[in-house]
Structure 1
Amino acid sequence: MADPVYDSPEPIISGLRCRCPRCGEGKLFRGFLKLAPACDQCGLSYAFADPADGPAFFVMSGVGIVVIAIFAWVEIAYRPPIWVPFVTVFPALIGACLGTLRPVKAWLVASQYIHKAEEGRFESVGRHDRDPRRL
């Protein structure tokens, strides 16, 4: 019996929906950020997925730049009292980071699947100062 053929969705689509990168239907997460062991629809094992700290870095960088740029503009244009940043900027940073972390992680996992990303391997046939094809 042949393996079923899947029409994999774009990585950004399956990432925003937090769904399986192969079938686009199964759940990707078991908890808030914990990946499920496998897709509950197509059975794809998520053992290949290792986004590491990439999602956190991208989210903190992107959200930080946007929120701080808006804060700086408001600070220069309106000069609000000192308590305003505490009740607006910090909740905005925390809320935006928590709100975007899960889809960004799902997008990176889907990108790893689509592009068949894997750990780099070092392959050397000989010494580095000699080309083994010339021997």
Structure 2
Amino acid sequence: MTDTLPSSMPNPTLEPPREMPKAMLRGWRRRCPNCGSGPMLRGYLKVRDNCPVCDEALYHHRADDGPPYLTLLIVAHIIGPGMLWFFIAFEPDPYTFMAIFMVASVALSLWFLPRLKGVIVAVQWAARMHGFGHGDARSDVRT
């Protein structure tokens, strides 16, 4: 019995490891996880097919429902205690209360969503998930 990897899987001994924290920080800044200078997103949430600076393929990502879920999780943990504190401290009019926290919720959600999408794509890139590994035979073929 031999200890060989299937030809479709990247060989971790041949490829240098990718730094997860650095990639995540670059993703948070919405930059290419490989070079850190090229923009990752085209528009608000559309991930570019390739980095315009280093030509790293980014179309492999499968962010799906991760960024909205994380956005909701984080925003709810910020807004929930804020609502409780504000209501206890100021006892505002209900319409004022709703207006303040609806606007705050939407603003925070719109701010967090592209950043968390960048982080998810960068994590997938650093972990060589979904075809991001250069040794993967499918990494150069678009599906």
TM-score (norm 1): 0.77
Partners in 2 of 1:41 and 1:79 — Cα distance? 53
Partners in 1 of 2:97 and 2:62 — Cα distance? 36
Partners in 2 of 1:86 and 1:114 — Cα distance? 41
Counterpart amino acid of residue 119 in structure 2: W
Match of 2:25 in 1: 13
Match of 1:39 in 2: 51
Partners in 1 of 2:28 and 2:94 — Cα distance? 36
Match of 1:54 in 2: 66
Match of 1:133 in 2: none
Higher helix share: 1
Partners in 1 of 2:129 and 2:28 — Cα distance? 20
Matched, 1:85 2:115: no
Alpha-carbon displacement from aligned partner over 1:87-124 (angstroms, at most 9, x marks no partner): 210000000000111111001101100011238xxxxx
Moved over 4 A (4+): none
Partners in 2 of 1:66 and 1:81 — Cα distance? 21
Unaligned runs of 5+ in 2: 1-15, 132-143
Q: C-alpha root-mean-square deviation of aligned residues, in Å?
A: 1.9
Matched, 1:113 2:125: yes
Partners in 1 of 2:34 and 2:105 — Cα distance? 32
Q: Offset at 1:42?
A: 0.8
Q: Offset at 1:86?
A: 2.1
Unaligned runs of 5+ in 1: 120-135
Partners in 1 of 2:124 and 2:76 — Cα distance? 25
- Which structure ranks higher in relative contact order (CA pairs < 8 Å, sequence separation ≥ 6)? 2
Counterpart amino acid of residue 126 in structure 2: I
Of 53-62 and 70-79, more deviation after overlay is shown by 70-79
TM-score (norm 2): 0.73
**Structure number with larger C-alpha Rg:** 1
Match of 2:109 in 1: 97
